[in-house]
Structure 1
């Protein structure tokens, strides 16, 4: 710009004041003359002067289009504005960047094809790339910019950003100077910047890489660790990173003052009387009571309890403040939770988004808050859980958007799951050989919420299939209706079974989590190939049997997700009454109980604890065929043993053992699920299974197993790979070490 003003002075030095008769531009490529003239501010009829030409140049330079500008005049009022435009960017290439980083960097940089080349923008881009790599622990990243003119064009450039990624700064040691209560091993789980462990490159080990943007918050994490132990006077300094750029290693130091721990002397609540809170009852439900050591984590949980109670009364934007009064003379603290409820809030509109396939009414029928309702936090959370339990959505978020002091809009944002799937499974058993299964299913047909399945299972000894359709909410009511046609052709160890049948189920939702159903089953079966010992000694019959039965059932579901629950209970009880006509006469009771608890809030790690149990009992009211008896074994009951092979047995004269089936059974399992690759929803699982089965006594046969597995929510459904070890197999047991399944709840 200095050059341009100098030329301007030269051009005007010999000019006397003159009136502008015409304005012409030389060198414009991307702007039109009219637009450029308007930007300059010069107008025909104005008197040409040093002041207005200076202003014209400044106005044009502000557009960031030009490298050089100067103004000349012929002395007769014909003004020429001579410009040299910056070249435009035709293409931007990134080199030296891996694919995963490339997408992220492209979203960060501000220079794009079509932009004018600008040195300031280039420097900003280089700084953003350096900051990006520093956030990932790479220091001394160098970016060179290569410019190449486009062939046959002086106004366009190809830009290449050559990125030489720096080196990782590795933390060798973390020092806590002044700390006595905690050492590094105590604070290691909560801080982001950790020292490198031996074989730090291995998954699950600390690699020691500096996370620059986490450094300012690590002292707060350490301080909160002290607060959780009652050290309310504890202070932690800013981090001191002593870096050695010759070998890219560093020591990290914090200076800590601990103080003394405090105990809670009293807990109280200060809230407006119109809230009608039972303060004594609420305080009894708190995690932190008088006499306890102060714990910041428990304080936060108690605040959440109080916040939710007030929000359930319609106060969506309630605020709870923990006021503390410290008594240093005896190291106690009074805690008073002050409640500012704000105004009661009603729902104005409910807006649903993200449901590209699922129709709005299918989403809305699961909501417990709708237009005109008083806001309720529990209803909001129950709505989220109900939507997740449908299996239609991978994620659900409901946001409150304030309209005014007394009304909010609810924004229901759903991320649809892949509900239609082609599922399959494979396993191997010592007797059955290769086990295959396949199904075509959809839990949300055409976005209607209806569920359908067509499946086939095949092994060396079995061929079975089914076709089913269920409407979980008939006309969006609380009633459900479903039916299944099925056929089986099985060749078990001790008999052959061919059966086909139909079941019809009518259900009703009783409460948010409780439902009841009544099913009717009619089934024709044919038993053949049975060993004589089962007929003569046990009393089973060959030939055709007709079963006609009613099955009342009740089910409870408070889980927070369909495939991967982290919270809640899934349980049910059913009783089958066979004998409404037909040959089979018995009563069969089945019950199950699944408990899920995520442990992240307690240990800051996404570990999920699961307990699952099943119980079965049969009463003989006339005749129970062998195919209706109870059996254990397989991925659904007792892993590590072949399907249906854990059972009372009888030995024939040929020394072969035959399963007779049990009349009472119980099996349960304890599981721990942990993340492996979170971004692709892959998890690992450790499990222990234990089961019992018998004729008259439950503990006649006891079996147990343990193992590991992989759980993966894939685009075609949830996948399980199970590696199991039978712990106490009998000599006549049939075991299985590997099983594979797609399409089943974890």
Structure 2
């Protein structure tokens, strides 16, 4: 007989037969012997008899069965000493510790948590059967990672006080690699083109990082679905995967995958009809249909049609609309006809709008962003718009909305918005760093969401090598109920760019201004501002002659009344972590009478985000600027545009692109210019290993840009280009940015800088 079965057989025999032979009697006392950790009261609770009750052989058998069923004991005996019951037990050991040796692929704490779910954890009763299940679960985890050669040895060590230590000794081995993926039965498309659809690949130069050459059942299922979608979107309605074979070599190092498919024939759409209760005019619904008669069958068009009709009905209050596409297949003619059955369901109202997770932010701040009203018809578009507006506030890391039905009602739902607040306040006394300004000793108190009201206030103090700033700003985004904003700024700013490769000068500015913003549409705002600025200019012997002439002509103190006007349209899905939508901005700054300075400075920016799902997105950005003096005045040189470095064209030193002059020491210095063009293409993707955390992102970029002086002609051939990798993090103390860029078009006068970074907020 198998030795592992012996204890179970003995226990069964004990439970199946009378414990011992005795005459029934009235119990005067009950004693428990052999317990070490278990309380005597626990044993008493499981006994079917109490003191003063009559005890019999039947109850003795029940007692033994009940105590064995607890799992606490490996042996139980009932003895009788006169009128006293003596319960003798032999406790199972408890698990004192669970440890792992040789684990590299997994986090030990995560493994302990997983094993706890199968019943193996510290302080629990040791059970050999549970240990075997734990071994199998651990092995399954390794197999899912492609480590088929893993060897797991489990050791159980007895410890004092009837405890044991459980140790898993793991030899992980090397992951099995996919050596070949074959597709059999394809005639229309080349095998190479089909394999390009797969996430699983054979070993390549980047697979050490992506691990796409390690077999995963889940990934293979996804690849099969991608293959099926590829055929169905090209008309092959009868496509099937006949078999999937995954084989591994005896040494468990190489894996071979073979898919057998049947492509079938190509189908066209013969007819499209609508049926059911359309609710909306039939012509309007037909405009939402992406499937057209005579076209090649495309499954995605069918899916898009059902979604478009459902969403459109949702905008009319039909929250639970159901749209199904019923195909009629003619295999002889290789045609398929579709009937879209529309069941709008009952039209529903939104009873209440509820918010959760906003511990600091007041409900009114969230409620004023709502485009779905309480008591109004359910509107899917308005709900999505409301969620987007909350996300754009910048107060939250995550915003979700659910619309559960109201219990007991058939025509009402609630809109429940859940937010995950992010830190909007920042008290910072310390240092920041950047590749341009080096050490920045700074202090700031800022709050984007002041006392949860949605107002923002910032006091900025910093001592960078280039910028020394003291500024106080306040903004109320809802000065009126209609969303008219008001803000004011008071500042003192010293600028000394001599540490850059910029022409020598210094400015000392004092100013104050008032700002207003007015919403003219859902996504559009017009901004107005008026400020008074007084700037003292200092030039040096090494300064360009243009700078010296400006000071000699207009004086070393420039006073200006600066008016600003701007328009912006923000259709991005998020203010902090955008992945889709567009952003446009037009700005005009003009210095007017009665002050001495006359100039205008205009700019236009257009940013477009293209989502690819899963946090992947392509950002295209264009930024142009033009400035000039007027009314016989010149553009102040300190209002010039600059380019180069983080924020414009990475890979080139900060503010070095454009016109230059050579100072008395023979050093080339940048002058800036009155015209600038910047273009960026950046592909963002999540930081590996961060899961759903969005605060860290990596990107690949291609930058272009240049600056031209007043006397120069704008030529696109002058543009400079760079490409590289970047990393960004919205850290608790401010934004962090790194870039590793390579200048792609370098002229002799250009200054390049491959590695650039910025830590902390630079004011």
Q: Same fold (TM over 0.5)?
A: yes
Aligned pairs for 1:191-340 (under 5 A) are 191-192=198-199, 194-199=200-205, 201-204=207-210, 207-273=212-278, 275-276=279-280, 278-340=281-343
Tell me how far 1:235 sits from its aligned partner: 0.6
Change (3 A) 1:693 1:329: farther
1:512 paired with 2:525, answer no
Change (3 A) 1:213 1:640: closer
Tell me how far 1:548 sits from its aligned partner: 0.8
Q: What SS does the corresponding residue of 2:554 show, helix, strand or coil?
A: coil
Asked if the contact 1:500/1:524 (under 8 Å) is kept, the reply is yes
Task: Give the aligned partner of residue 487 of structure 1.
Answer: 493
- Structure 2: distance between partners of 1:197 and 1:8: 59
Q: What SS does the corresponding residue of 1:741 show, helix, strand or coil?
A: strand
Asked if the contact 1:231/1:258 (under 8 Å) is kept, the reply is yes
1:710 paired with 2:716, answer no
Tell me how far 1:6 sits from its aligned partner: 5.1
1:117 paired with 2:133, answer no
User: Per-residue CA shift, 1:440-487, capped at 9, x if unaligned?
Assistant: 45534555532525253634x664554433333348762323233231
Tell me how far 1:353 sits from its aligned partner: 3.4
- Structure 2: distance between partners of 1:24 and 1:656: 98
1:60 paired with 2:73, answer no
Q: What SS does the corresponding residue of 1:131 show, helix, strand or coil?
A: helix
Tell me how far 1:233 sits from its aligned partner: 0.4
- Structure 2: distance between partners of 1:170 and 1:658: 55
Task: Give the aligned partner of residue 618 of structure 2.
Answer: 608
Change (3 A) 1:36 1:494: closer
Segment of structure 1 superposing worse, 433-442 or 444-453: 433-442
- Structure 1: distance between partners of 2:439 and 2:715: 29
1:670 paired with 2:678, answer no
- Structure 1: distance between partners of 2:191 and 2:470: 58
Which runs of 5 or more structure 1 residues have no equivalent in the other structure? none
Asked if the contact 1:267/1:283 (under 8 Å) is kept, the reply is no
Segment of structure 1 superposing worse, 696-705 or 398-407: 696-705
1:427 paired with 2:435, answer yes
Q: What SS does the corresponding residue of 1:138 show, helix, strand or coil?
A: coil
Aligned pairs for 1:538-549 (under 5 A) are 541-549=554-562
Change (3 A) 1:509 1:17: same
Q: Work out which of the residue numbers 671, 686, 701 in structure 2 matches 1:686.
A: 701
Change (3 A) 1:725 1:43: closer
Change (3 A) 1:368 1:402: same
- Structure 1: distance between partners of 2:383 and 2:688: 30
Change (3 A) 1:575 1:499: same
Asked if the contact 1:231/1:262 (under 8 Å) is kept, the reply is yes
Q: Work out which of the residue numbers 62, 66, 90 in structure 2 matches 1:84.
A: 90
Aligned pairs for 1:240-639 (under 5 A) are 240-273=245-278, 275-276=279-280, 278-369=281-372, 371-404=374-407, 405-420=410-425, 424-427=432-435, 440=444, 441-445=446-450, 447-449=452-454, 450-452=456-458, 454=460, 456=462, 458-459=464-465, 463-464=468-469, 466-474=471-479, 478-484=483-489, 485-490=491-496, 493=503, 495-529=505-539, 531-532=544-545, 541-600=554-613, 606-618=616-628, 620-627=630-637, 629-634=639-644, 635-639=646-650
Asked if the contact 2:603/2:623 (under 8 Å) is kept, the reply is no
Change (3 A) 1:73 1:516: same
Change (3 A) 1:191 1:507: same
Q: What SS does the corresponding residue of 2:283 show, helix, strand or coil?
A: helix
TM-score, normalisation: structure 2: 0.84
Q: What SS does the corresponding residue of 2:642 show, helix, strand or coil?
A: coil
Segment of structure 1 superposing worse, 442-451 or 682-691: 442-451
User: Per-residue CA shift, 1:654-696, capped at 9, x if unaligned?
Assistant: 9998877655544333333345536273312221314464548
Change (3 A) 1:614 1:257: same
User: Per-residue CA shift, 1:291-327, capped at 9, x if unaligned?
Assistant: 3322223333333322221112222233332222222
Task: Please report the RMSD computed on the Cα atoms of aligned residues, expressed in angstroms.
Answer: 3.8
Q: What SS does the corresponding residue of 1:473 show, helix, strand or coil?
A: coil
Which runs of 5 or more structure 2 residues have no equivalent in the other structure? 1-7
- Structure 2: distance between partners of 1:350 and 1:186: 50
Change (3 A) 1:443 1:177: same
- Structure 1: distance between partners of 2:507 and 2:551: 18
Asked if the contact 2:29/2:84 (under 8 Å) is kept, the reply is yes
- Structure 1: distance between partners of 2:21 and 2:673: 116
Q: What SS does the corresponding residue of 1:168 show, helix, strand or coil?
A: coil
Change (3 A) 1:502 1:730: farther
- Structure 2: distance between partners of 1:257 and 1:325: 21
Asked if the contact 2:703/2:723 (under 8 Å) is kept, the reply is yes
1:129 paired with 2:138, answer yes
Asked if the contact 2:25/2:83 (under 8 Å) is kept, the reply is yes
Change (3 A) 1:639 1:196: closer
- Structure 1: distance between partners of 2:457 and 2:141: 46
Segment of structure 1 superposing worse, 708-717 or 47-56: 47-56
- Structure 2: distance between partners of 1:542 and 1:297: 68
Aligned pairs for 1:85-104 (under 5 A) are 85-98=91-104, 100-104=106-110
Tell me how far 1:519 sits from its aligned partner: 1.0
Tell me how far 1:106 sits from its aligned partner: 1.6
Segment of structure 1 superposing worse, 49-58 or 682-691: 49-58
Change (3 A) 1:365 1:127: farther
Asked if the contact 2:579/2:615 (under 8 Å) is kept, the reply is no
Asked if the contact 2:672/2:707 (under 8 Å) is kept, the reply is no
- Structure 1: distance between partners of 2:291 and 2:423: 43
Asked if the contact 1:20/1:46 (under 8 Å) is kept, the reply is yes
- Structure 2: distance between partners of 1:201 and 1:234: 30
TM-score, normalisation: structure 1: 0.86
Asked if the contact 1:220/1:236 (under 8 Å) is kept, the reply is no
- Structure 2: distance between partners of 1:338 and 1:217: 29
Segment of structure 1 superposing worse, 613-622 or 120-129: 613-622
- Structure 1: distance between partners of 2:726 and 2:472: 29
Asked if the contact 1:140/1:166 (under 8 Å) is kept, the reply is yes
Tell me how far 1:173 sits from its aligned partner: 0.9
Segment of structure 1 superposing worse, 724-733 or 316-325: 724-733
Tell me how far 1:87 sits from its aligned partner: 2.1
- Structure 2: distance between partners of 1:129 and 1:410: 42
Change (3 A) 1:128 1:370: farther
